[in-house]
Structure formats: C-alpha cells, structure tokens
Amino acid sequence: EVQLVQSGGGLVQPGGSLRLSCAASGFTFTTAWMNWVRQSPGKGLEWVARIKSKTDGGTTDYAGPVKGRFTISRDDSKNTLYLQMNSLKSEDTAVYYCSEIGLGLWGQGTLVTVSS
C-alpha cells in the first residue's frame, strides 16, 4: 500500500525541540522530492520545507519563518523523512503533514503544540 505514516509530535515548551518522522512505503522513496506542510488551528495550509532526492542533489529549502530553526532530512535506507524543529515558538503550533506533492501523497498529520 502506498502511504506515508507520521510519528512524533506532542507538547513542547517554548524554546524546546522536537523531531517528526514520516515513514514511506509502496513507492520509490529514494527518487521522491519530499515536503513538510503545516496548518495552524483553524487556519490555512503553510508550506514549511522541501528536500530533493539525493540523485537530484539532496538540496533543502525552507519557508522564511522556520529557516535557521528547522531542518528537513531523509534516510533513504529507512525510507523515512524527518523534520528537526529547534527553538520552537508558540506560533509553530500546528498540525504538520509530510507530503510527496506530485504523487498526491500525504501523511495523516501530527499535532505539535508549543506551550508552557
């Protein structure tokens, strides 16, 4: 079955760190360009980051609000995508989705709450 299964997330204090994971199956993960997208409660969708496949350079790109604090990475041996989130702020509170946009694949979403 083609799917993205997310894990991680939860409650973290401002200034803290958290790592999200996204396990891929049923498609060729190694050639996929993967993204993270988030959605604050009751709000619209916001693109967060993208990582290209290693064969295409493996380069990463970020949205302005998370640049320098978040790191997207991948482990092709485990078919897994990651999002390391540091120096978290209250405005980072959101449901985070991993996605292979072109294939129309989305994870189930995971809630990250930044609060003291």
User: Which residue(s) pair with 113 in the sheet?
Assistant: 11
Give me the sheet containing 18-25, strands edge to edge: 3-7, 18-25, 80-85, 70-75
Please report whether residue 106 would count as binding another protein according to CB under 8 A: yes
Please report whether residue 109 would count as binding another protein according to CB under 8 A: yes
Among 1, 55, 102, 116, binds another protein (CB under 8 A): 102
Question: Can you list the alpha helix ranges (DSSP code H) found in the chain?
Answer: none
Q: How far is the CB of 10 from another protein (least distance, A)?
A: 18
Question: Which residues lie closer than 8 Å to 43 by C-beta, 6 or more apart?
Answer: none
Q: How far is the CB of 116 from another protein (least distance, A)?
A: 27
The one-character DSSP state at 69 is T
Nearer to another protein, 5 or 15 (CB): 5
Residues binding another protein (CB under 8 A): 35, 37, 44-47, 50, 61-64, 97, 99, 101-102, 104, 106-109
